[in-house]
Structure 1
Amino acid sequence: MATLLHRLGKTAYRRWPIFIAGWIVAMLAVGTFAATMSKPMTDAFSIPGIPSEKAADMQEELFPQSVDAFDRATVNVVVAAPEGHTLEEAPYAAAVDDLIAELRDVPQVPADAPLANPVDAAASQRQQLLDAAEQDGTPRDQALANAAALSPLSEDGRVGTITFDYDVETPQDIEPATQDRLLEVMDDARASGLTVEANGTGMSAFTEPGGSSELIGVAVALLVLVLTFGSLVAAGLPIVTALFGVGLGITAVTGMTAFMDIGSSTPMLATMIGLAVGIDYTLFILARYRTELHHTEDREEAIGIAVGTAGSAVVFAGLTVFIALTALAVVRIPFLTAMGLAAAGTVLIAVLVALTLLPAILGLLKSKAFGGRVRRYAPHREPDGHVLNNGVRWARLVGRKPVAVALLVVVALGALAVPLKDLHLAFPTDSTAASDTTQRQASDLMSAAFGPGREGPLLVVVDATDVAEADRGAAIGEVAAWTAGLDDVDNAQVVATNEAGTGAQIMVTPSSGPDDTATENLLTALRDGQDAIEQQTGTETGVTGLTAITTDVSERLSDALPIYLTVVIGLAFLLLMLVFRSILVPLTATLGFLLSVLATLGATVAVFQQGAFGWMEGQPIVSFMPIFLIGVVFGLAMDYQVFLVTRIREAHVHGYPMREAVVDGFRNSARVVTAAAAIMTAVFAAFMLQDEPIIKSMGFALAIAVVFDAFVVRIALIPAVLYLLGDRAWWLPRWLDRLLPEVDVEGEKLERPYLRGPDFDDAFDDLESEASRA
């Protein structure tokens, strides 16, 4: 591989106009396709085959006019009179009427939208239910309870809801002008003294992503690169290539909406990963290129060797990330598969950019590649001429007490993992939004006025086709009575029957909120009792609705995690065994990853779920975060493992004893790995500035994971373990050695006019000779 990449690097350097033009043409082609063929992104989290989806299919069959829960753009406008007043009082009743009149003029609100004053709507609905109760014999108390469960007016008359659906196919079709007009209408109504807030699926488009988080991450990355290279031009190269790769990747993701559903959070996550690995991969090759310039004035040969050696490590590091992300497809969850494939595609582009576009740009710049120097680097040297840097000092420090270092890391990370035992997975809802958003404030008003279950109803679909026509009403009523008798049920009533009388919808209002464990337990109880009630009544039943669907998705994600871990770790273990020709090195790399990811999840639970340090309001962890985090962190962990241990193995291959090989590896790669980890931490942490809770939690988790894995596991634990293992670290059974193909990651087959020397060990040597050649 090193020989092939060596030729590729030299070719890209020599024929730089062709390679640069090729990348520009690719960007234009993908951009044109995306601009003309892309479709809106979606926030649907459905999974074919889960119980709630089957129930939704039954609902669609019995009620053809029903709309998918994720496609409805529903808005709940919540109005509240001041404390001590009601909406029936003259000034507030008139203000609500004015609000309704203005709502009818909001773009995309259908002309026949059922907009009504909550006071009038509640009275009308109550009377209808009482009249129906007289006809079918329902007790008056039950009819009043049913009316209260559906009433748009609170019992004290202070809070009311005005609910409507936008005339759009999906919430993503809501136009900015519609959003702006609704906010203006709400502001106008507040002038009358009313409290007016809104939530619902139709409000999801109101979350505006911050535009500065990526720039902050890039700015910090640029600062780290300037400190690393001491050159403004060299520092800018990883940023430019990474931004180009991310731009191409995100454009391709946008274009993929023409063929598959892409979640609205997918581009942000692909950007997060693409920026980080794009900068790191370019940094690693560029650092090796500068090292090689101290041994040859042939720049083409220097970039060839850099791509052949560091590029080989980049290929395998990228492959581990690619495997971890694409393996998300094995869990058979469409939106997660789309996220994984989008991020994996961006990583693949980052690898290709580092291997081809970077050498081409260096071919364009020639001697100006390290121009704009802002500082000189004059390293200290040991008596034998080798560089003495902080990497060497740290490696020797760890080597004095490897057992103590290993135990300290294991205990510390284990302690951080303790909060993981309280992990509660759920999907974000309006009730878990930031407290300063209108969605959260509307949710709080509704919960206080109507009970927390109003926002998380469950829908039981009853198919009575096989029941005798005369018995269908009784059978449906029996199912409704059964659901009403379960624990945590505030109310259960039939809210719709089809024209043929063969199907019914029973709305079950829990006593708890949509993200509460009690609601999940109620859903389990409904499912557990389905067989018995179906046999008793002769009906077929199913439970659906937003709450049921998101709960099922969370359960499927939890069940898929062991499968995913097996596939990812198994494939990556084989890949690392191929790279390092060892069993113990991949094993220690994997165990170190498990430590860092458990500590990361524990810290995330403590901060986001338990509200530690007061940084965040306590809320459940988004359901797909652990599995996605594991995939990404595993890939990044293997990046650092490959970058660091390949240099250790390279020294060992060239005859260094194990202890000296570890020191030499840190001499040459510690600064690169540290810079790469600092950049990744900055890029990920910057995403915590986003308003979107999913992105915020992912940014935190990924940033802290990099800190744990790079600065604790790879920089401390791995060298300690390698010291303890000694030469046994490279043990590989002979039969397995014969089976594994030879992969020259260290560049042993590359012809170089030098073997070893003090300058060879210095990845960041003095720039004086480089400046003189320039």
Structure 2
Amino acid sequence: MAKYLYRLGKWAVNHKKKAMGGTIGILFLIAIVALNMGPAFSDEMSIPGTESAQAGKLIEKEFQASDTPEPGTIDIVLKAPKDETLESEKVVEVLNKTIEEIKEDKAVVSVATPAELENYNENKQIGYAVVTYDVPAPEVSDKSKEIILDSIETTRDAGIQTELASSVAFSELEVGGISEVIGVIVAYIVLALTFTSFLVAGMPIITAVVGLGIGILSILIGTNFLDVSSFSISLAAMLGLAVGIDYALFIISRYRQELAKGHSVQEAIAIATGTAGSAVVFAGITVIIALLGLGVAKIPFLTIMGIGAAVCVLFAIIVAVVFVPALLGLFGHKLGPARKNRILEKLSRGRNSDESKWGNFVTKRPWTVTILGILLLITISIPFFHMHLGLPDDGTKSEETMERRAYDLLTEAYGPGYHSSLVVVAKTDKSSGNAQKNMEKIAKDIGKLSHVNSVSPPIPSKSGEAFMLSISPSTGPNDIETNEVVHSIRELSDNNKEKIELLVTGSTAVNIDISEKLNDALPLFALLIVGFAFVLLVLVFRSLLVPLKAVLGFLLSLAATLGFVVFVLQDGNLINLFAFPKEGPVLAFLPVIVIGILFGLAMDYEVFLVSRMREEFTHTGDAKKAILAGMKDSGGVVTAAGLIMVAVFAGFMFAPDPIIKSMGFALTFGIVFDAFIVRMAIVPAVMELMGNAAWYLPKWLDRILPNIDVEGTSIQTELTDTDKVKDKEI
């Protein structure tokens, strides 16, 4: 692989205008197509085959006359001023005025007042009006939203607390906002310190933005053909930006090292593309495979999320091995060899210039570093064993959002169970003649269950073959008690004498099914990832113990990451420090996302760090010298790469959406644990303990394994064939 990338690097330098022009041209072409088509996000998160999905289909068949999409609605939640009620003459007058303003919008079909809906709470201080539009929720125009926002100012000015809860999105996710800006600024500072050059520091960011732009625009086009969720864009953005910067960092760092050895600009670029580029391609493909592996869970929205992020990583790889060499060909002569950074030099170098100060520290105390590192990660992992999965709702958003305030008002008025209502649809045999009576008995049985607040009378379908019930639990949508209610109703389906099948659905039941499906998929997915990693690393490092150490280290960092997520997000510790508005269940698909992404990034750092050790061991046969050389040559770059990842992911913790915020939090600390504790401390310590045995591989296995040239030894052949003709300076 290195040989072909070496040639690609040379081609990119010799045809730099074509390479750069072609890349920018593709970016503009995709941008034009994306802008013309526009995005069409879908936040459909149901899973085909689950009981809640089957219930939804039965309801659609038996109770809906047509396939017309449901119209968009907005609930205007109102709370009267103190010592007033929503029936007060003054309040009614203001409310009627507001409704008349809303009705001026031609897209509004109807507005139902709290009095018409009879939804006042006990003291008649809280209720809600319902605005219905003539189009589905995603198609409600910005103009209609502005009319609503302007109209409710009338009630607010009168002292009536007015909030919005709706299927219409008012808080749109923004890609390219403050989250990314913060991450990019910190990444630039890290790069400037690493390269001791503001010009060089800007290059990885520029190239990463180009690759990210192509990837994100491609996903936007894909939303018109696939059901892509809005938060898939943010996941793809945070990952594409982080790996794009890192991959360019590795190639540019190697380029400057080759310049320092006396190579010409052209040769230095080609060698950097062949060596560091090989590691980039291998690491990137590993990340892509891990992301595509999310499809193992057989959950459509999760599979699409993985594909979207994989697209961004793919373009990050292509830009790194084509656009970066071309850009170096254009500006490389202005960069010059790496200048000495006195601060980093003092921190990293040992007594010998060929050694690493940190490497010396670790190799002299391998048992201490190994034991302390493992104990620290195991301790952080402990909360993982009581992890509770769920999906965020408006109650997990910041109190500064209208949705959260509306959620709290509705909870105050009707209790937490208002947000966790369930729909039960029952299949019956109308020929028995007792269907109605049997359903009334089942409704009474459901009403006797723990944590059930109320049960509506059963409503028969037109065919008489199905009945529908509405259940109001006494607990919230993410409470364990609500989960128990759903399972208790399903148990009634198995145990009732009438043999009536009860199917439970509603957003709460759908979320419970999603969480359980994801929880069941975790062990299989983790097993496949670990097995894949071991085989892949055996191919790369020609060793059995090094890959075993790598996957065990990954499992340690993964357990610590999920443990810390539970400690903060679920248990509520330090939530104010990290600006989370409220504790709650762990995002249902977060563990699977963390496994896929953290695995790919962990293997990135493993390859960049240990491949240099293997290269040195191959030449010298000295295991300790190999560790010190790897820490000296690759340790600083891996540290910088880890800091960049942390900066980018941490930037997303400033996002208002709880899904994006929690993903940014988990990935930030996942990188902290894996890059800095596992790869930079435990890995070299364990390598020292293993000594030469770390590189043992049975001869019979060595003969049958294909040779993946990540270190770039095949480039020597290329150099030998061409060293008689000295390359010209660009």
**What is the CA–CA distance in structure 2 between the aligned matches of 1:378 and 1:467, rounded to whole Å?**
80
Q: 2:483 aligns with which of 496, 520, 535?
A: 520
1:250 deviates by 0.2
Do residues 746 (structure 1) and 711 (structure 2) align?
yes
SS at match of 1:568: helix
* Letter matched to residue 7 of structure 2: R
Residues 175-254 of structure 1 correspond to what in structure 2 (within 5 A)? 175-203=141-169, 205=171, 211-254=177-220
Checking the alignment, whether the CA contact within 8 Å between 1:232 and 1:371 is kept in structure 2 is no
Distance 1:382 1:254, change over 3 A: closer
Do residues 491 (structure 1) and 481 (structure 2) align?
no
Q: 1:692 aligns with which of 631, 654, 657?
A: 657
Q: 1:648 aligns with which of 595, 613, 638?
A: 613
**What is the CA–CA distance in structure 2 between the aligned matches of 1:634 and 1:121, rounded to whole Å?**
52
Match of residue 464 from structure 2 = 501
TM-score by length of 2: 0.93
SS at match of 1:156: coil
**What is the CA–CA distance in structure 1 between the aligned matches of 2:347 and 2:503, rounded to whole Å?**
74
**What is the CA–CA distance in structure 2 between the aligned matches of 1:67 and 1:485, rounded to whole Å?**
36
Residues 442-457 of structure 1 correspond to what in structure 2 (within 5 A)? 442-457=406-421
* Letter matched to residue 115 of structure 2: V
TM-score by length of 1: 0.88
**What is the CA–CA distance in structure 2 between the aligned matches of 1:384 and 1:414, rounded to whole Å?**
31
* Letter matched to residue 44 of structure 2: A
**What is the CA–CA distance in structure 1 between the aligned matches of 2:145 and 2:434, rounded to whole Å?**
48
Do residues 116 (structure 1) and 79 (structure 2) align?
no
* Letter matched to residue 486 of structure 2: L
**What is the CA–CA distance in structure 2 between the aligned matches of 1:375 and 1:394, rounded to whole Å?**
16
Q: 1:550 aligns with which of 511, 521, 529?
A: 511
Checking the alignment, whether the CA contact within 8 Å between 1:425 and 1:621 is kept in structure 2 is yes
* Letter matched to residue 275 of structure 1: L
Match of residue 639 from structure 1 = 604
Percentage of pairs with the same residue? 40
Q: 1:167 aligns with which of 118, 124, 134?
A: 134
SS at match of 2:112: coil
Distance 1:121 1:258, change over 3 A: closer
1:671 deviates by 0.9
Distance 1:541 1:670, change over 3 A: same
Q: 1:574 aligns with which of 524, 530, 535?
A: 535
Checking the alignment, whether the CA contact within 8 Å between 2:362 and 2:681 is kept in structure 1 is yes
* Letter matched to residue 41 of structure 1: F
SS at match of 2:424: strand
* Letter matched to residue 121 of structure 1: L
1:282 deviates by 0.7
Do residues 49 (structure 1) and 49 (structure 2) align?
yes
1:306 deviates by 1.1
1:508 deviates by 0.4
1:571 deviates by 1.7
Question: Alpha-carbon deviations, 1:68-127, whole Å to 9, x = none?
Answer: 99x6644222111123332122111222222332332346432xx2x33323432xxxxx
Match of residue 140 from structure 1 = none
Do residues 665 (structure 1) and 664 (structure 2) align?
no
1:183 deviates by 1.7
Distance 1:600 1:380, change over 3 A: closer
Q: 1:726 aligns with which of 667, 691, 705?
A: 691
Q: 1:595 aligns with which of 544, 556, 561?
A: 556
Do residues 155 (structure 1) and 122 (structure 2) align?
yes
Match of residue 585 from structure 1 = 546
Match of residue 35 from structure 1 = 35
**What is the CA–CA distance in structure 2 between the aligned matches of 1:217 and 1:370, rounded to whole Å?**
27
Residues 313-332 of structure 1 correspond to what in structure 2 (within 5 A)? 313-332=279-298
1:203 deviates by 4.3
Checking the alignment, whether the CA contact within 8 Å between 1:231 and 1:374 is kept in structure 2 is no
1:273 deviates by 0.2
Question: Alpha-carbon deviations, 1:593-634, whole Å to 9, x = none?
Answer: 111111111212222222212332212221111110111111
SS at match of 1:670: helix
SS at match of 1:460: strand
Match of residue 368 from structure 2 = 404
Match of residue 482 from structure 1 = 445
Checking the alignment, whether the CA contact within 8 Å between 1:208 and 1:691 is kept in structure 2 is no
Do residues 541 (structure 1) and 502 (structure 2) align?
yes
Checking the alignment, whether the CA contact within 8 Å between 1:172 and 1:205 is kept in structure 2 is no
Stretch moving more, 637-646 or 745-754 = 745-754
Match of residue 130 from structure 1 = none
Match of residue 226 from structure 2 = 260
Match of residue 17 from structure 1 = 17
Match of residue 63 from structure 2 = 63
Question: Alpha-carbon deviations, 1:514-572, whole Å to 9, x = none?
Answer: 11111111111111221223xx3354431111111111111111111112112222222
Checking the alignment, whether the CA contact within 8 Å between 1:230 and 1:376 is kept in structure 2 is no
Question: Alpha-carbon deviations, 1:442-469, whole Å to 9, x = none?
Answer: 11111121111112110001233x2227
**What is the CA–CA distance in structure 2 between the aligned matches of 1:640 and 1:24, rounded to whole Å?**
30
SS at match of 1:654: helix
Match of residue 681 from structure 2 = 716
**What is the CA–CA distance in structure 1 between the aligned matches of 2:569 and 2:584, rounded to whole Å?**
6
Structure 1: where are the runs of 5+ without partners? 123-151, 756-772
1:7 deviates by 1.0
* Letter matched to residue 306 of structure 1: A
**What is the CA–CA distance in structure 2 between the aligned matches of 1:108 and 1:342, rounded to whole Å?**
34
Checking the alignment, whether the CA contact within 8 Å between 1:233 and 1:372 is kept in structure 2 is no
**What is the CA–CA distance in structure 1 between the aligned matches of 2:10 and 2:173, rounded to whole Å?**
48
**What is the CA–CA distance in structure 2 between the aligned matches of 1:606 and 1:565, rounded to whole Å?**
21
Match of residue 273 from structure 2 = 307
Residues 611-626 of structure 1 correspond to what in structure 2 (within 5 A)? 611-613=572-574, 614-615=576-577, 616=580, 617-626=582-591
Structure 2: where are the runs of 5+ without partners? 721-728
**What is the CA–CA distance in structure 2 between the aligned matches of 1:182 and 1:684, rounded to whole Å?**
35
1:60 deviates by 0.8
* Letter matched to residue 401 of structure 1: R
Stretch moving more, 566-575 or 344-353 = 566-575
Q: 2:353 aligns with which of 387, 403, 406?
A: 387
Checking the alignment, whether the CA contact within 8 Å between 1:231 and 1:375 is kept in structure 2 is no
Match of residue 105 from structure 1 = 104
Checking the alignment, whether the CA contact within 8 Å between 2:348 and 2:632 is kept in structure 1 is no
Checking the alignment, whether the CA contact within 8 Å between 2:351 and 2:357 is kept in structure 1 is no
Checking the alignment, whether the CA contact within 8 Å between 2:192 and 2:201 is kept in structure 1 is yes
**What is the CA–CA distance in structure 2 between the aligned matches of 1:605 and 1:104, rounded to whole Å?**
47
Stretch moving more, 95-104 or 745-754 = 745-754
**What is the CA–CA distance in structure 2 between the aligned matches of 1:478 and 1:380, rounded to whole Å?**
80
1:318 deviates by 0.9
Match of residue 415 from structure 1 = 379
**What is the CA–CA distance in structure 1 between the aligned matches of 2:349 and 2:680, rounded to whole Å?**
26
Match of residue 763 from structure 1 = none
Distance 1:7 1:753, change over 3 A: closer
1:31 deviates by 2.6
* Letter matched to residue 748 of structure 1: T
Q: 2:639 aligns with which of 674, 689, 700?
A: 674
Match of residue 702 from structure 1 = 667
Distance 1:74 1:552, change over 3 A: farther
Aligned residues: 718
1:206 deviates by 5.4
Do residues 437 (structure 1) and 436 (structure 2) align?
no
Match of residue 257 from structure 2 = 291
**What is the CA–CA distance in structure 2 between the aligned matches of 1:624 and 1:658, rounded to whole Å?**
41
Residues 324-403 of structure 1 correspond to what in structure 2 (within 5 A)? 324-370=290-336, 387=353, 392-403=356-367
